Chain A
Amino acid sequence: MSIATTAPFTTRQARTVPPRATRDPAWARWTLTAVALAFLAFFLVLPLVVVFAEAFSKGAAFFMATIREPDARSAIWLTLFTVAIAVPANVVFGIAAAWAIAKFRFPGKSLLTTLIDLPFAVSPVISGLVYVLVFGAQGWLGPWLIDHNVRIIFAVPGIVLATVFVTFPFVARELIPLMQAQGTDEEYSAVTLGANGWQTFWRVTLPNIRWGLFYGVILCNARAMGEFGAVSVVSGHIRGETNTMPLHVEILYNEYNSAGAFAVASLLALLALVTLVVKSAIEWRQNAAP
């Protein structure tokens, strides 16, 4: 048995070439594309254009006045405040839950996985009602809360709780399949190399899930800002106190101030557009990354 004299290890994985697109007849391609574009234009682009057109229908001055009005400003602040609590909270919950589910075996794991999906499965109105039933004046904890002068329902804590609940699955759902696919070998590697748990998490686990995590945060953020149903039930619609942006839009609209309603709505739409741009940028980075 002789050892090869040529330099070993010169093999290289062949680059995979994407298969050529199948050729459909031209009319089929054009028809399908046209149908898709028409659908997109009618159901997505048109409404978006209408939002901005209506928002400025009474001029830029009216637009500025509407969003500078104290009640509107309070709604914007409350929305941002809620997001600032709900998103970080769900990042922590989401990472912890995904970590536990993807990397460990324990009894009750499938139950936990199912529970994470619960907020997606139930209507947001019901999510809100649950909090009213628990924390409301006639609820389980209502009398005790009133005795101790704690207000949750029809107050900011209720809005934050409802938002956290509704947006709970986004981060965890994004991370679980990713972490499951990555397995635990890299963590075990880090451990055999002498890293402690904290170092393993910060240097190995977190960098590996960062794009998935960003993606989850963006979706979570979008939903937290836009949540209407659950927040509507627990908010009480007190102007200047417990109104978030979506609720403020509804109030303005119900007062036949459609230009005002669209002005606030256009802010929400703008946030949504920014979210989409950031999301696309992340996806682009993710594909470009080695």
Chain B
Amino acid sequence: MSIEAHGIRKKFGAYTALDGVDLNVPQGKLVALLGPSGSGKTTLLRIIAGLEFPDAGSGRVLFHGDDVTDLPAGKRKVGFVFQHYALFRHMSVFENVAFGLRVRRRRDRPSAAAIAERAHRLLELVQLDGLAGRFPSQLSGGERQRVALARALAVEPKVLLLDEPFGALDARVRKDLRRWLRRFHDEIQLTTIFVTHDQEEALEIADEVVIMNKAHVEQVGTPQQVYDRPASPFVYQFLGNVNVLKAPALAGARRRGAGSGEPGTDGLIYVRPHDIELTPHDAGGDGLSAIVRHIHAAGPHARLLLEQVQSREPVEVEISRSELAELNLQANDLVRFRLRQTHSFDEDYAI
């Protein structure tokens, strides 16, 4: 089922959580709502779920073209997974999953045997069938998350909404679980929206990323689109490390051709640390001189902090460790740098 939201506004007292937000999620897609905390992404998700309502007269929420704005959460056929799972702590895993079927009106309620069958099938689907008798407090974070998912799926939702689904897990489990979620989504093909503040997570598993900032949507696109063609400095900075450099000082470091690094009307050039090329200083040629201030070589890549000789601006550079070994750099050495790929923004982007 496709999801649309038009012109959603929401205020909490004097605080504006959403200021005229539009969203369009096609059937069967996995979409990430990405943004820093306070950007309104969770509020938007809760409005789609029916747990919050947009301010009077401000906007509509449509499921598959039908207006559901005034429907309560229980009638929207959404599966919602909360950030901290919100499992019923006094019920076993099995009872948690069966809850949505048990509370149905008698004439819609499946038989006890059918409920048990469905609950066990869902627990199998999330690879937890052996734990049906456990209580939530006896499970690990990743297991709880999957119980919450099975519980949400038990009511056969048309839409799956996940609020920071991996936020409370440790880094290792997070990675496993998000890849599992991607495969899981490919299997069940349910229109899914998940909220996250982790750009890596969003870029890795989403079909489409909606980047939010300060109650607005900044950009919508596939992970590659938003990463390669960011619509605003905010998006560019949010999606990875970035150097913001003043253009005049950089004339010597720019390359001709694609991504040549013309500054925008703000006179700034944006460049990612891994899009900077280093050459030995003695070799001459073009490029700007800088002093190596710090080398951080633990990890897959080496990160260097340079200081431009002329303007004294700091520049962060990321190169492979073999390149670093070739350059044979030490702190306080001189080096030349050139910009491979840059971005610039004109100031007419809306705020």
Q: B120 to chain A: which residues have CB within 8 Å?
A: none
Given known pairs A4-B176, A190-B99, A192-B74, the reply for A12 and B82 (CB within 8 Å) is no
Q: Which residues of A contact B100 (CB under 8 A)?
A: 193-195
Chain A residue total in the interface (Cβ 8 A): 24
B90–A192 touching, CB < 8 Å: no
Q: Is A189 an interface residue (CB 8 A)?
A: yes
- Bitwise, B132-166 to A at CB < 8 A (1) or not (0) is 00010110111100100001101100000000000
Minimum distance in angstroms from B191 CB to a CB of chain A: 16
Of the stretches A16-24, A199-207, A263-271, the one at the interface is A199-207
CB distance from A109 to the nearest CB of B (A): 14
Given contacts A3-B179, A9-B146, contact A189 B86 (CB under 8 A): yes
With both beta carbons as reference points, the residue of chain A lying nearest to B137 in the complex is identified as: A290
Contact check, B74 vs A196: say whether CB atoms are below 8 A apart.
yes
B76 to chain A: closest residue by CB = A192
> B142 touching A11 by the CB < 8 A rule?
yes
Q: Tell which of B79, B84, B173 touches A185, judged by Cβ atoms closer than 8 Å.
A: B84
A254 at the interface (CB under 8 A from B): no
Q: Which residues of A sit under 8 angstroms from B89, Cβ to Cβ?
A: 186, 208
Q: Say whether B142 contacts A9, CB under 8 Å.
A: yes
The smallest beta-carbon distance between A77 and chain B, in angstroms, is 38
Pair A189/B90 contact, Cβ less than 8 Å: no
Chain B residues within 8 Å of A192, by CB? 49-51, 73-74, 78-80, 152
Which positions 57-94 of chain B face chain A at CB distance < 8 Å?
72-75, 78-80, 82, 84, 86-91
A12 to B143, CA, bound (A): 9
Does A31 belong to the interface (CB within 8 Å)? no
Contact A188:B176 (CB < 8 A) given known A11-B140, A207-B90: no
Do A194 and B155 touch (CB < 8 A)?
A: yes
Interface status of A96 (Cβ within 8 A of chain B): no
| Separation of A74 and B79 alpha carbons in the complex (Å) | 59
> Are the C-beta atoms of B103 and A193 separated by less than 8 Å?
yes
Tell me the complex Cα distance, A8–B181, Å.
12
- The reply on B302 being an interface residue by CB < 8 A is no
Q: Are A185 and B103 in contact (CB under 8 A)?
A: no
Cα A192 to Cα B74 with chains together (Å):
5
**Which B residues are in CB contact (< 8 Å) with A8?**
176-177, 180
- Say whether B103 contacts A13, CB under 8 Å: no
Instruction: Say whether A193 contacts B74, CB under 8 Å.
Output: yes
Please give the distance in Å from B328's CB to the nearest CB on chain A. 31
Give the residues from 93 to 144 in chain B that come closer than 8 angstroms, CB to CB, to chain A: 99-100, 103-104, 127, 135, 137-138, 140-143
Is A13's CB under 8 angstroms from B73's CB?
no
> Would you list which residues of chain A between 1 and 41 have a CB under 8 Å from chain B?
3-4, 8-9, 11-13
Q: Which residues of B contact A11 (CB under 8 A)?
A: 140, 142, 170, 172-173
In the complex, A191 has a CB within 8 A of chain B:
yes
Q: Which A55-73 residues have a C-beta within 8 angstroms of B?
A: none
A193 x B155 contact (CB < 8 A)? yes
> CA separation between A207 and B89, bound complex, in Å?
9
Question: Are the C-beta atoms of B88 and A204 separated by less than 8 Å?
Answer: yes
Residues of B within 8 A of A203 (CB): 88, 99, 103
Task: Give A194's nearest chain B residue, CB to CB.
Answer: B74
B268 to chain A, nearest CB (A): 33
In the complex, A249 Cα to B143 Cα: how many Å?
A: 59
B1 to chain A: closest CB distance in Å? 16
In the bound complex, what is the Cα–Cα distance between A50 and B336 (angstroms)? 94
Q: Chain B contacts of A186 at CB under 8 A?
A: 86-89
Residues of A contacting B78 with CB < 8 Å?
Answer: 192
Instruction: Give 14 pairs: A residue, B residue, CB < 8 Å, sorted on A.
Output: A3-B179, A8-B176, A9-B140, A9-B176, A11-B142, A185-B82, A189-B82, A189-B151, A190-B88, A190-B99, A195-B74, A195-B99, A195-B100, A290-B135
Residues of A participating in the B interface, judged by any CB pair closer than 8 Å: 3-4, 8-9, 11-13, 185-186, 188-196, 199, 203-204, 207-208, 290
Q: Which 5 A-B pairs have the closest CB atoms?
A: A185-B86, A193-B100, A8-B176, A195-B103, A192-B80
